Structure 1
Amino acid sequence: MIRDPREDAGLLALVQRYVTPERRYLKLGGGLLHPRGPEGDHARFLRDLREDADVVTADEIGTLLEGGWRERRTATWLVAVSRRTAFRERIGELLLASEVCCVGLAYCMTLAGFGTARDADLLAAYLERYLRRPDLAHDQSVAMGALLVVDEKLPGDRAAAFLEPGGLWPRWLRDAPHMRLDTDPAGYANLVRALCALVDDCARTR
Protein backbone atom coordinates (compact mmCIF):
# COMPACT_ATOMS: atom_id res chain seq x y z
CA MET A 1 0.00 0.00 0.00
CA ILE A 2 1.31 3.43 -0.95
CA ARG A 3 1.61 5.83 1.97
CA ASP A 4 0.02 9.26 1.59
CA PRO A 5 1.87 12.13 3.29
CA ARG A 6 -1.44 13.91 3.83
CA GLU A 7 -2.39 11.09 6.16
CA ASP A 8 1.04 10.23 7.56
CA ALA A 9 2.79 12.81 9.72
CA GLY A 10 6.12 10.99 9.65
CA LEU A 11 6.19 10.78 5.89
CA LEU A 12 5.00 14.38 5.57
CA ALA A 13 7.96 15.59 7.63
CA LEU A 14 10.35 13.78 5.28
CA VAL A 15 8.58 15.17 2.23
CA GLN A 16 8.98 18.70 3.59
CA ARG A 17 12.64 18.01 4.34
CA TYR A 18 13.79 16.25 1.18
CA VAL A 19 11.15 16.28 -1.56
CA THR A 20 9.38 19.61 -1.94
CA PRO A 21 12.03 22.28 -1.24
CA GLU A 22 12.54 24.18 -4.52
CA ARG A 23 10.24 21.57 -6.08
CA ARG A 24 13.16 19.16 -6.14
CA TYR A 25 11.02 16.21 -7.16
CA LEU A 26 10.17 17.90 -10.46
CA LYS A 27 13.76 18.77 -11.33
CA LEU A 28 15.25 15.32 -10.80
CA GLY A 29 15.43 13.84 -14.27
CA GLY A 30 16.63 14.48 -17.78
CA GLY A 31 16.12 18.21 -17.37
CA LEU A 32 19.23 18.34 -15.19
CA LEU A 33 21.27 17.68 -18.31
CA HIS A 34 20.04 20.93 -19.88
CA PRO A 35 19.62 23.35 -16.97
CA ARG A 36 17.83 26.63 -17.46
CA GLY A 37 18.37 29.80 -15.51
CA PRO A 38 21.53 31.05 -13.82
CA GLU A 39 24.41 28.59 -13.62
CA GLY A 40 24.65 29.25 -9.90
CA ASP A 41 21.12 27.98 -9.35
CA HIS A 42 21.98 24.65 -10.99
CA ALA A 43 25.18 24.32 -8.97
CA ARG A 44 23.32 25.11 -5.75
CA PHE A 45 20.64 22.55 -6.57
CA LEU A 46 23.26 19.82 -7.05
CA ARG A 47 25.11 20.90 -3.92
CA ASP A 48 21.93 20.66 -1.85
CA LEU A 49 21.24 17.24 -3.35
CA ARG A 50 24.74 16.07 -2.39
CA GLU A 51 24.36 17.36 1.14
CA ASP A 52 21.01 15.66 1.62
CA ALA A 53 22.40 12.41 0.20
CA ASP A 54 25.02 12.57 2.94
CA VAL A 55 22.63 13.12 5.84
CA VAL A 56 19.50 11.15 4.90
CA THR A 57 19.32 7.91 6.84
CA ALA A 58 18.56 4.46 5.49
CA ASP A 59 15.30 4.41 7.46
CA GLU A 60 14.29 7.76 5.95
CA ILE A 61 15.00 6.49 2.44
CA GLY A 62 12.99 3.38 3.16
CA THR A 63 10.05 5.47 4.31
CA LEU A 64 10.21 7.73 1.24
CA LEU A 65 10.22 4.66 -1.00
CA GLU A 66 6.84 3.73 0.48
CA GLY A 67 5.30 7.00 -0.72
CA GLY A 68 4.04 8.10 -4.11
CA TRP A 69 6.01 9.01 -7.21
CA ARG A 70 7.41 12.25 -5.82
CA GLU A 71 8.80 10.56 -2.73
CA ARG A 72 10.12 7.56 -4.63
CA ARG A 73 11.82 9.63 -7.33
CA THR A 74 13.58 11.78 -4.74
CA ALA A 75 14.60 8.82 -2.58
CA THR A 76 16.00 6.96 -5.58
CA TRP A 77 18.17 9.92 -6.56
CA LEU A 78 19.44 10.16 -2.99
CA VAL A 79 20.29 6.44 -3.20
CA ALA A 80 22.14 6.99 -6.48
CA VAL A 81 24.19 9.97 -5.29
CA SER A 82 25.11 8.32 -1.99
CA ARG A 83 25.83 5.00 -3.78
CA ARG A 84 23.75 3.02 -1.30
CA THR A 85 23.83 -0.32 -3.05
CA ALA A 86 22.00 -1.86 -0.09
CA PHE A 87 18.85 -0.53 -1.76
CA ARG A 88 19.53 -2.38 -5.01
CA GLU A 89 16.94 -5.11 -4.42
CA ARG A 90 14.30 -2.65 -3.25
CA ILE A 91 14.83 -0.49 -6.33
CA GLY A 92 14.54 -3.58 -8.50
CA GLU A 93 11.31 -4.61 -6.76
CA LEU A 94 9.78 -1.19 -7.26
CA LEU A 95 10.78 -1.13 -10.92
CA LEU A 96 9.23 -4.53 -11.49
CA ALA A 97 6.03 -3.63 -9.64
CA SER A 98 5.61 -0.34 -11.56
CA GLU A 99 3.00 0.87 -9.06
CA VAL A 100 3.40 4.56 -9.84
CA CYS A 101 4.35 6.67 -12.84
CA CYS A 102 7.25 9.07 -13.33
CA VAL A 103 9.92 7.10 -11.45
CA GLY A 104 11.14 4.47 -13.90
CA LEU A 105 13.97 6.57 -15.28
CA ALA A 106 15.31 7.13 -11.75
CA TYR A 107 15.15 3.41 -10.97
CA CYS A 108 16.88 2.44 -14.23
CA MET A 109 19.54 5.12 -13.95
CA THR A 110 20.36 4.03 -10.40
CA LEU A 111 20.72 0.35 -11.33
CA ALA A 112 22.82 1.27 -14.36
CA GLY A 113 25.05 3.39 -12.14
CA PHE A 114 25.61 0.48 -9.77
CA GLY A 115 26.48 -1.55 -12.86
CA THR A 116 26.86 -5.10 -11.53
CA ALA A 117 25.61 -8.41 -12.87
CA ARG A 118 22.80 -8.30 -10.32
CA ASP A 119 21.68 -4.93 -11.66
CA ALA A 120 21.62 -6.43 -15.15
CA ASP A 121 19.47 -9.27 -13.79
CA LEU A 122 16.97 -6.82 -12.31
CA LEU A 123 16.72 -4.81 -15.52
CA ALA A 124 16.39 -7.99 -17.59
CA ALA A 125 13.60 -9.25 -15.31
CA TYR A 126 11.70 -6.04 -15.92
CA LEU A 127 12.17 -6.32 -19.68
CA GLU A 128 11.13 -9.99 -19.67
CA ARG A 129 7.83 -9.00 -18.08
CA TYR A 130 6.95 -5.71 -19.72
CA LEU A 131 8.20 -6.23 -23.26
CA ARG A 132 5.47 -8.87 -23.37
CA ARG A 133 2.92 -6.13 -22.64
CA PRO A 134 2.71 -3.82 -25.66
CA ASP A 135 -0.51 -2.44 -24.20
CA LEU A 136 1.41 -0.90 -21.29
CA ALA A 137 3.43 2.28 -21.77
CA HIS A 138 5.76 1.91 -18.81
CA ASP A 139 9.56 2.22 -18.83
CA GLN A 140 10.56 -0.42 -21.35
CA SER A 141 12.68 2.00 -23.38
CA VAL A 142 14.75 3.41 -20.53
CA ALA A 143 15.17 -0.06 -19.04
CA MET A 144 16.61 -1.26 -22.34
CA GLY A 145 18.91 1.75 -22.44
CA ALA A 146 20.02 1.03 -18.88
CA LEU A 147 20.74 -2.60 -19.70
CA LEU A 148 22.90 -1.50 -22.63
CA VAL A 149 24.85 0.77 -20.27
CA VAL A 150 25.41 -2.05 -17.78
CA ASP A 151 26.49 -4.33 -20.63
CA GLU A 152 29.32 -1.89 -21.36
CA LYS A 153 30.77 -2.61 -17.92
CA LEU A 154 30.45 -6.41 -17.92
CA PRO A 155 31.48 -9.37 -20.04
CA GLY A 156 28.72 -10.83 -22.13
CA ASP A 157 25.79 -9.10 -23.76
CA ARG A 158 22.53 -9.39 -21.82
CA ALA A 159 20.70 -7.03 -24.15
CA ALA A 160 21.42 -9.06 -27.30
CA ALA A 161 18.69 -11.63 -26.70
CA PHE A 162 16.10 -8.88 -26.43
CA LEU A 163 17.32 -6.95 -29.48
CA GLU A 164 17.86 -9.77 -31.99
CA PRO A 165 15.40 -10.12 -34.89
CA GLY A 166 12.30 -11.76 -33.54
CA GLY A 167 13.28 -10.89 -29.97
CA LEU A 168 11.08 -9.20 -27.42
CA TRP A 169 12.27 -5.66 -28.22
CA PRO A 170 11.39 -5.60 -31.97
CA ARG A 171 8.15 -7.46 -31.25
CA TRP A 172 7.22 -4.89 -28.61
CA LEU A 173 8.02 -2.00 -30.95
CA ARG A 174 5.90 -3.59 -33.65
CA ASP A 175 2.91 -4.20 -31.41
CA ALA A 176 2.98 -1.20 -29.08
CA PRO A 177 0.70 1.47 -30.56
CA HIS A 178 2.52 4.30 -28.79
CA MET A 179 5.97 3.45 -30.18
CA ARG A 180 7.64 4.08 -33.56
CA LEU A 181 9.14 1.18 -35.44
CA ASP A 182 12.45 3.05 -35.88
CA THR A 183 13.05 3.64 -32.16
CA ASP A 184 16.76 3.19 -31.44
CA PRO A 185 17.59 1.91 -27.94
CA ALA A 186 21.00 3.59 -28.21
CA GLY A 187 19.27 6.93 -27.70
CA TYR A 188 17.89 5.78 -24.37
CA ALA A 189 21.30 4.41 -23.45
CA ASN A 190 22.78 7.86 -24.12
CA LEU A 191 20.23 9.42 -21.75
CA VAL A 192 20.92 6.92 -18.99
CA ARG A 193 24.69 7.20 -19.50
CA ALA A 194 24.56 10.99 -19.24
CA LEU A 195 22.50 10.86 -16.05
CA CYS A 196 24.90 8.32 -14.55
CA ALA A 197 27.80 10.66 -15.35
CA LEU A 198 25.98 13.54 -13.66
CA VAL A 199 25.40 11.39 -10.57
CA ASP A 200 29.05 10.33 -10.57
CA ASP A 201 30.14 13.97 -10.65
CA CYS A 202 27.77 14.70 -7.81
CA ALA A 203 29.05 11.75 -5.77
CA ARG A 204 32.73 12.55 -6.32
CA THR A 205 32.34 16.01 -4.82
CA ARG A 206 30.57 14.76 -1.69
Structure 2
Amino acid sequence: MPSQHPKEVGYGHVVESYVTRMYGDLPRYLVLNGGRFLGPRWWHTTRFTRHLLNDAAAITDEELEALLGYEWRSRLTAAWLIGIDRRERFRAHIGDLLLASEVCYSGSAYCFALTRFGTHTDAEILTTYLDHYLPRTDLHYDQPAALGALLRLDALLSTRHADRFTEPDGLWDEWVKGVGRLGYPSYTPAELRRWTDLQCDFANGWSRT
Protein backbone atom coordinates (compact mmCIF):
# COMPACT_ATOMS: atom_id res chain seq x y z
CA MET A 1 0.00 0.00 0.00
CA PRO A 2 2.24 2.84 -1.21
CA SER A 3 1.93 6.16 0.61
CA GLN A 4 1.24 9.39 -1.24
CA HIS A 5 0.55 12.92 -0.09
CA PRO A 6 -3.14 13.82 -0.44
CA LYS A 7 -2.25 16.72 -2.72
CA GLU A 8 -1.10 14.17 -5.29
CA VAL A 9 -4.71 12.98 -5.60
CA GLY A 10 -6.29 16.43 -5.50
CA TYR A 11 -6.97 16.67 -1.75
CA GLY A 12 -4.12 18.81 -0.51
CA HIS A 13 -6.32 20.53 2.07
CA VAL A 14 -7.21 17.48 4.15
CA VAL A 15 -4.15 17.32 6.40
CA GLU A 16 -4.54 20.89 7.61
CA SER A 17 -8.33 20.64 7.80
CA TYR A 18 -8.59 17.37 9.70
CA VAL A 19 -5.23 16.22 11.08
CA THR A 20 -3.18 19.16 12.36
CA ARG A 21 -5.85 21.52 13.72
CA MET A 22 -4.57 22.77 17.08
CA TYR A 23 -6.15 22.38 20.50
CA GLY A 24 -4.08 24.24 23.02
CA ASP A 25 -0.52 23.18 22.37
CA LEU A 26 -1.39 19.92 20.60
CA PRO A 27 -2.53 19.05 17.08
CA ARG A 28 -5.61 16.83 16.75
CA TYR A 29 -3.68 13.69 15.84
CA LEU A 30 -1.63 13.85 19.05
CA VAL A 31 -4.74 14.43 21.16
CA LEU A 32 -6.35 11.37 19.57
CA ASN A 33 -3.22 9.28 20.00
CA GLY A 34 -2.70 10.24 23.64
CA GLY A 35 -6.33 10.11 24.74
CA ARG A 36 -6.18 13.35 26.73
CA PHE A 37 -9.76 14.16 25.70
CA LEU A 38 -11.01 11.08 27.57
CA GLY A 39 -10.09 12.62 30.92
CA PRO A 40 -12.33 15.02 32.85
CA ARG A 41 -9.87 17.86 33.38
CA TRP A 42 -8.64 18.85 29.91
CA TRP A 43 -9.73 22.43 29.17
CA HIS A 44 -10.29 21.90 25.45
CA THR A 45 -12.48 18.78 25.63
CA THR A 46 -15.78 20.42 24.64
CA ARG A 47 -14.34 22.30 21.66
CA PHE A 48 -12.28 19.30 20.58
CA THR A 49 -15.27 16.97 20.78
CA ARG A 50 -17.60 19.31 18.91
CA HIS A 51 -15.11 19.70 16.06
CA LEU A 52 -14.41 15.96 15.95
CA LEU A 53 -18.10 15.11 15.74
CA ASN A 54 -18.78 17.73 13.07
CA ASP A 55 -15.80 16.68 10.97
CA ALA A 56 -16.73 13.00 11.22
CA ALA A 57 -20.11 13.84 9.73
CA ALA A 58 -18.84 16.31 7.12
CA ILE A 59 -15.71 14.66 5.70
CA THR A 60 -16.29 12.92 2.38
CA ASP A 61 -15.34 9.35 1.58
CA GLU A 62 -12.85 10.67 -0.96
CA GLU A 63 -11.17 12.83 1.66
CA LEU A 64 -10.99 9.86 4.00
CA GLU A 65 -9.41 7.73 1.28
CA ALA A 66 -6.80 10.45 0.73
CA LEU A 67 -5.94 10.45 4.44
CA LEU A 68 -5.79 6.65 4.62
CA GLY A 69 -3.32 6.65 1.76
CA TYR A 70 -0.82 8.88 3.53
CA GLU A 71 1.30 8.54 6.71
CA TRP A 72 0.43 7.53 10.29
CA ARG A 73 -0.94 10.87 11.50
CA SER A 74 -3.41 11.05 8.67
CA ARG A 75 -4.36 7.38 8.90
CA LEU A 76 -4.91 7.59 12.65
CA THR A 77 -7.15 10.65 12.27
CA ALA A 78 -9.09 9.13 9.38
CA ALA A 79 -9.75 5.94 11.32
CA TRP A 80 -11.10 7.91 14.27
CA LEU A 81 -13.41 9.90 12.00
CA ILE A 82 -14.56 6.67 10.33
CA GLY A 83 -15.21 5.07 13.70
CA ILE A 84 -17.06 8.06 15.11
CA ASP A 85 -19.39 8.13 12.09
CA ARG A 86 -19.52 4.32 11.81
CA ARG A 87 -18.75 4.29 8.08
CA GLU A 88 -18.79 0.54 7.69
CA ARG A 89 -18.00 0.74 3.96
CA PHE A 90 -14.38 1.28 5.07
CA ARG A 91 -14.29 -2.02 6.99
CA ALA A 92 -12.25 -3.96 4.43
CA HIS A 93 -9.78 -1.10 3.92
CA ILE A 94 -9.32 -0.64 7.67
CA GLY A 95 -8.86 -4.38 8.11
CA ASP A 96 -6.22 -4.50 5.38
CA LEU A 97 -4.31 -1.58 6.93
CA LEU A 98 -4.42 -3.17 10.38
CA LEU A 99 -3.08 -6.50 9.16
CA ALA A 100 -0.38 -4.83 7.03
CA SER A 101 0.84 -2.75 10.03
CA GLU A 102 2.91 -0.54 7.77
CA VAL A 103 3.19 2.49 10.05
CA CYS A 104 3.29 3.19 13.78
CA TYR A 105 0.47 4.36 16.07
CA SER A 106 -2.43 4.22 13.61
CA GLY A 107 -3.31 0.57 14.38
CA SER A 108 -5.05 1.45 17.64
CA ALA A 109 -7.36 3.77 15.69
CA TYR A 110 -8.18 0.97 13.24
CA CYS A 111 -9.14 -1.18 16.22
CA PHE A 112 -11.37 1.60 17.53
CA ALA A 113 -13.15 1.85 14.17
CA LEU A 114 -13.71 -1.91 13.99
CA THR A 115 -15.09 -1.93 17.52
CA ARG A 116 -17.49 0.86 16.64
CA PHE A 117 -18.78 -1.12 13.66
CA GLY A 118 -19.52 -3.86 16.16
CA THR A 119 -20.24 -6.92 14.02
CA HIS A 120 -19.05 -10.52 13.88
CA THR A 121 -17.03 -9.62 10.78
CA ASP A 122 -15.10 -7.04 12.77
CA ALA A 123 -14.40 -9.58 15.49
CA GLU A 124 -13.06 -11.94 12.83
CA ILE A 125 -10.72 -9.23 11.50
CA LEU A 126 -9.33 -8.62 14.99
CA THR A 127 -8.98 -12.37 15.58
CA THR A 128 -7.04 -12.73 12.34
CA TYR A 129 -4.73 -9.91 13.41
CA LEU A 130 -4.07 -11.49 16.81
CA ASP A 131 -3.50 -14.91 15.26
CA HIS A 132 -0.87 -13.32 13.04
CA TYR A 133 0.89 -10.99 15.49
CA LEU A 134 0.62 -12.49 18.99
CA PRO A 135 3.07 -15.29 18.11
CA ARG A 136 5.57 -12.54 17.25
CA THR A 137 6.96 -12.00 20.73
CA ASP A 138 9.66 -9.79 19.22
CA LEU A 139 7.16 -7.21 17.94
CA HIS A 140 5.14 -4.67 19.90
CA TYR A 141 2.62 -3.38 17.39
CA ASP A 142 -1.10 -3.04 18.17
CA GLN A 143 -1.70 -6.34 19.92
CA PRO A 144 -2.97 -4.64 23.11
CA ALA A 145 -5.48 -2.46 21.27
CA ALA A 146 -6.68 -5.42 19.20
CA LEU A 147 -7.23 -7.57 22.28
CA GLY A 148 -9.09 -4.81 24.10
CA ALA A 149 -11.29 -4.31 21.05
CA LEU A 150 -11.98 -8.03 20.71
CA LEU A 151 -12.91 -8.32 24.37
CA ARG A 152 -15.46 -5.52 23.99
CA LEU A 153 -16.92 -7.11 20.87
CA ASP A 154 -17.15 -10.47 22.63
CA ALA A 155 -19.21 -8.79 25.34
CA LEU A 156 -21.44 -7.04 22.83
CA LEU A 157 -21.91 -10.07 20.57
CA SER A 158 -22.05 -12.77 23.26
CA THR A 159 -19.05 -14.53 21.69
CA ARG A 160 -15.79 -15.84 23.12
CA HIS A 161 -13.20 -15.18 20.43
CA ALA A 162 -10.69 -13.82 22.94
CA ASP A 163 -10.79 -16.81 25.28
CA ARG A 164 -8.15 -18.82 23.48
CA PHE A 165 -5.76 -15.86 23.52
CA THR A 166 -6.21 -15.02 27.20
CA GLU A 167 -6.20 -18.50 28.72
CA PRO A 168 -3.39 -19.02 31.28
CA ASP A 169 0.00 -19.47 29.58
CA GLY A 170 -1.69 -18.85 26.24
CA LEU A 171 -0.67 -16.59 23.38
CA TRP A 172 -1.31 -13.37 25.30
CA ASP A 173 0.79 -14.39 28.31
CA GLU A 174 3.62 -15.56 26.06
CA TRP A 175 3.52 -12.33 24.05
CA VAL A 176 3.58 -10.21 27.23
CA LYS A 177 6.65 -12.12 28.47
CA GLY A 178 8.39 -11.69 25.14
CA VAL A 179 7.87 -7.96 24.74
CA GLY A 180 8.53 -7.50 28.45
CA ARG A 181 12.08 -8.64 27.81
CA LEU A 182 12.26 -5.84 25.24
CA GLY A 183 11.31 -3.30 27.90
CA TYR A 184 7.62 -2.81 27.12
CA PRO A 185 5.11 -2.55 29.99
CA SER A 186 2.44 -5.22 30.39
CA TYR A 187 -1.29 -4.68 30.69
CA THR A 188 -3.95 -7.10 31.78
CA PRO A 189 -6.81 -7.95 29.40
CA ALA A 190 -9.19 -6.20 31.82
CA GLU A 191 -7.16 -2.98 31.58
CA LEU A 192 -7.16 -3.16 27.79
CA ARG A 193 -10.92 -3.75 27.72
CA ARG A 194 -11.40 -0.74 30.02
CA TRP A 195 -9.41 1.52 27.66
CA THR A 196 -11.48 0.38 24.68
CA ASP A 197 -14.64 0.98 26.69
CA LEU A 198 -13.51 4.53 27.46
CA GLN A 199 -12.99 5.28 23.77
CA CYS A 200 -16.27 3.75 22.61
CA ASP A 201 -18.31 5.18 25.47
CA PHE A 202 -16.94 8.60 24.57
CA ALA A 203 -18.05 8.12 20.97
CA ASN A 204 -21.43 6.74 22.00
CA GLY A 205 -22.02 9.63 24.34
CA TRP A 206 -21.46 12.26 21.67
CA SER A 207 -22.81 10.58 18.52
CA ARG A 208 -25.71 12.15 16.68
CA THR A 209 -27.38 8.77 16.24
How has the CA–CA distance of structure 1 residues 17 and 89 changed in structure 2, closer, same or farther, with 3 Å as cutoff?
A: same
Could you say which residue in structure 2 is the equivalent of 1:50?
53
2:37 to 32, 35, 44: 32
2:171 to 168, 171, 184: 168
Could you say which residue in structure 1 is the equivalent of 2:199?
195
| Partner Cα distance (1:15, 1:36) in 2 | 28
| Partner Cα distance (1:101, 1:36) in 2 | 28
CA shift digits 1:80-133 (9 cap, x unpaired): 111101111111111111111111221111111221101100101110011011
Could you say which residue in structure 2 is the equivalent of 1:149?
152
| Partner Cα distance (2:150, 2:9) in 1 | 38
| Partner Cα distance (1:70, 1:36) in 2 | 25
Equivalences for residues 109-128 of structure 1 within 5 A = 109-128=112-131
Could you say which residue in structure 2 is the equivalent of 1:185?
189
How far did 1:156 drift? 2.5
How far did 1:37 drift? 4.3
Q: TM-score, normalised by structure 2?
A: 0.89
Which letter maps to 1:34?
G
Q: Secondary structure at the match of 2:207?
A: helix
Q: Conserved in 2, the CA contact under 8 Å of 1:127 and 1:140?
A: yes
How far did 1:158 drift? 0.3
Bigger mean CA deviation after superposition, 117-126 or 25-34 = 25-34
How far did 1:179 drift? 4.3
CA shift digits 1:51-85 (9 cap, x unpaired): 11111111111111001011101111110111101
Could you say which residue in structure 1 is the equivalent of 2:102?
99
- How many pairs does the alignment contain? 201
Could you say which residue in structure 2 is the equivalent of 1:21?
21
* Seq. identity, %: 42
Note the residue ranges of structure 2 that are not aligned, 5 or more in a row. Answer: none
CA shift digits 1:133-166 (9 cap, x unpaired): 1111101111111110000011320000111234
1:3 aligns with 2:4: yes
Which letter maps to 2:91?
R
Which letter maps to 2:113?
T
| Partner Cα distance (2:9, 2:165) in 1 | 44
| Partner Cα distance (2:177, 2:76) in 1 | 30
How has the CA–CA distance of structure 1 residues 186 and 37 changed in structure 2, closer, same or farther, with 3 Å as cutoff?
A: closer
| Partner Cα distance (1:167, 1:54) in 2 | 41
How far did 1:168 drift? 1.3
